[in-house]
Amino acid sequence: MTPLLIANWKSHKNEAQALAWLEIFAAFWSKYQGQSQVVIAPPASLLGSLDWFFREKIASTLPGQLSLGVQDLSPFPSGAYTGALSIENIANFQVKYAIVGHSERRRYFHETHAEVANKVDQALAAGITPVVCVDVDYVESQAAAIARDQLEKCVVAYEPLEAIGSGVNQPIIEVKPVVSAIKAAFGKVPILYGGSVSSQNVAEYTDVVDGFLVGSKSLDAQEWIEIIKKAGN
């Protein structure tokens, strides 16, 4: 399959910084001939700005290959849930993917497998593909919490905790068995690797996974462009 590349900006960047990044990226993207699906997941506050930029400045180039992602989603429908981002809130944006259950959400916001499963529900109801993040210890238990008929509608991102933000990516030999475990638990799903992915190491993984979830190295537009180039066709 064609690589799926997701930039996870986490809680970095304000609007001016995002627009400066987009100007550099747009110059590259207007000439891009590859097949990769590229997704930018900015902080929720910047979704409107990116959506506007995509429509106004890059809409004509490779429509369908560039889209927005959200870094998290409410486990509830729209309603009295202060601070939550519901599918209704993002309905007018070109959001195709929702990252759910990132280890930082689990660790700092105490998200449970059941909440992640509810987020999967919400995303799918809106026609958004959930990107379920897992580490090796809870591949099976997270899959078990998600309705069976929804499992194969997910993308799964394998993100080993020690590799996230550490600058030390996990060796491919250690990634391979986890990819098999994810297939056993979720079925035929696209599998991403995340954890200190850079333009220097991304090519090592392209035979084993279907794409990448990239944090730190997606913050610099030029480095992100290099990652897109190295990740494949």
List residues with catalytic annotation. Answer: 102, 159
Q: Is 39 in the site for ligand PGA (CB under 6 A)?
A: no
Measured from the CB atom, the residue of 3 and 195 that comes closer to ligand PGA is 195
CB atoms within 10 A of CB 225: 17
Measured from the CB atom, the residue of 69 and 215 that comes closer to ligand PGA is 215
Measured from the CB atom, the residue of 144 and 168 that comes closer to ligand PGA is 168
Binding letters toward ligand PGA, positions 156-185, x by CB under 6 A: ---x----xx--------------------
Report how far residue 117's alpha carbon sits from residue 140's, in angstroms, rounded to the nearest whole number.
13
At residue 226, the 3 state secondary structure works out as helix
- Pick one of 7, 213, 228, 231: the residue that binds ligand PGA (CB under 6 A): 213
Contacts of residue 109, Cβ cutoff 8 Å, sequence gap at least 6: none
Q: Is 194 in the site for ligand PGA (CB under 6 A)?
A: yes
Binding positions for ligand PGA, rule: CB under 6 A: 8, 159, 164-165, 194-197, 213-217
